Structure formats: C-alpha cells, structure tokens
Structure 1
C-alpha cells in the first residue's frame, strides 16, 4: 500500500500537476515494483502566504510525502528518493533545492482497505523489496 501527498504553492503546482504525477508514479513503479495501475496521489495547493519554506527555495518548492506499509529495504527507499530527485529535476525542471521528500511507514496492521486490515488483505505486489 502506498499513498503520495504533494504540497506546493497553488499556481506553480497546478501547472505541473499531471506531468509531476506521471513522473512520481514512474519512480514508484520502478523502485517499489508497484503495479502500473496503482496510483494514489493527492495534491495540496497552498496560497503563498500559507506555505512557509526554508530560505533559498522558490515558488516551485514542493514537499512529497509517501505513506506506505513498512517492509522495504533501505536500498529500495534510497532508490525511490534518488529516482524522484533525478526524474523531477530532468523531466519537470524543478531545482533539487525545490524538492523535499519524506517516506513515512507503518505496520500493515495499521492500514485498512477493502474491508480488512493491511496484514489480512490480499495484495497483488511485493512489499519486501
């Protein structure tokens, strides 16, 4: 199970939303071996006055939070982060300083979907990659 939240200033983020979603999804499929039809992205558009950011960032600054069931190796999570930096920079044109990524994990039993807890539900992809 994995869900992605993307936060950014409304106007610049809306302008790249579809392309950014495609890039993020390609990274998740490649690094985490998710099925291509499994995409759960939510965009949070903020007014400039509501999005405080570190010095040296531009209006293109985004924060990506990835929520997922624990079980991936450190190498797999680093691969995902590195792919995100590389592809977002190359394909979308965002500066590395304008991209922040955080992976948040929790045990399968703390997830609920399709009427079951995550440790009881049948999942058609591997968690331990």
Structure 2
C-alpha cells in the first residue's frame, strides 16, 4: 500500500498535475513493483503566502510525501527516490532543487482498507522488495 501527497504553489502545481502524477506513478510501479491500477495521489494546492520554502527554491518547488507499509529495503527506497528526481527533472522540467521527497513508513497493522487491517488484507503485490 502506498499513498502519495504532493504539495506546491497552486498555479504552477495545477499546471503540471496530471503529468506529475503519471511520472510519480511510473516510478512507484517500477521501483516498488506496484500494480498499474493502484494510484492514490492527493494534491495540496497552496497560496504563495502559505508555503514557506527554503532559500534557493522557485515557485515550482514541490514536496512529495510517500506513505507506505514497512517492508521495502533501503535499496528499493533509494531507487524510488532517485527515479523520482531523474524523471521529474527530465519529463516535467523541474530542477532537482525544487523537488523534495520524504518516504514515511508504518507497520501493516496500522493500515485499514477494504474492511480489514493491512496485516490481514490480501495484498496482490510484493511489499518486501
């Protein structure tokens, strides 16, 4: 299970929303061996005055948070992060300085979907990759 939150300044983020979602999903499918039909992305559009960012970032600065069940190796998570930097930069045109990524993990028993906890639900894709 993985859910993605993308934060950014409203207008620039809205302009790239669909393409960015496609790129992120492609990276998740490749790195985490996710099924193609398992996309859960949420976009959070912020007014410029509501989004304080580090020095040296442009109005295109985005924060990508990926919440997932524990179980992926360090190598798998690094692969995902590196794919995101590479493909978002190449395919969307964002500078790597304008991309911030954080992976947050929690145990399967902390998740609930389809009427069950994550450790009881039948998951059709690998978690321990």
TM-score (norm 1): 1.00
Q: Report deviation, 1:13.
A: 0.1
Q: Distance in 1 between matches of 2:51 and 2:71?
A: 32
Correspondences of 1:16-35 after superposition (within 5 Å): 16-35=16-35
Indicate the residue corresponding to 2:51 in structure 1: 51
**CA distance in 2: counterparts of 1:32 and 1:86, whole angstroms:** 16
Q: Secondary structure at the match of 1:125?
A: coil
Q: How many aligned residue pairs are there?
A: 129
- 5 Å-filtered alignment, 1:26-105, equals 26-105=26-105
Residue 103 of structure 2 aligns to a residue in which SS?
Answer: strand
Gaps of 5+ in 2: none
Q: 1:110 maps to what in 2?
A: 110
What is the root-mean-square deviation of aligned Cα atoms in Å? 0.2
> 1:37 and 1:107 mapped to 2: Cα distance?
23
Tell me the alpha carbon deviations over residues 60-97 of structure 1, each in whole angstroms, 9 at most, x when there is no partner. Answer: 00000000000000000000000000000000000000
* Aligned counterpart, 1:4: 4
Unaligned runs of 5+ in 1: none
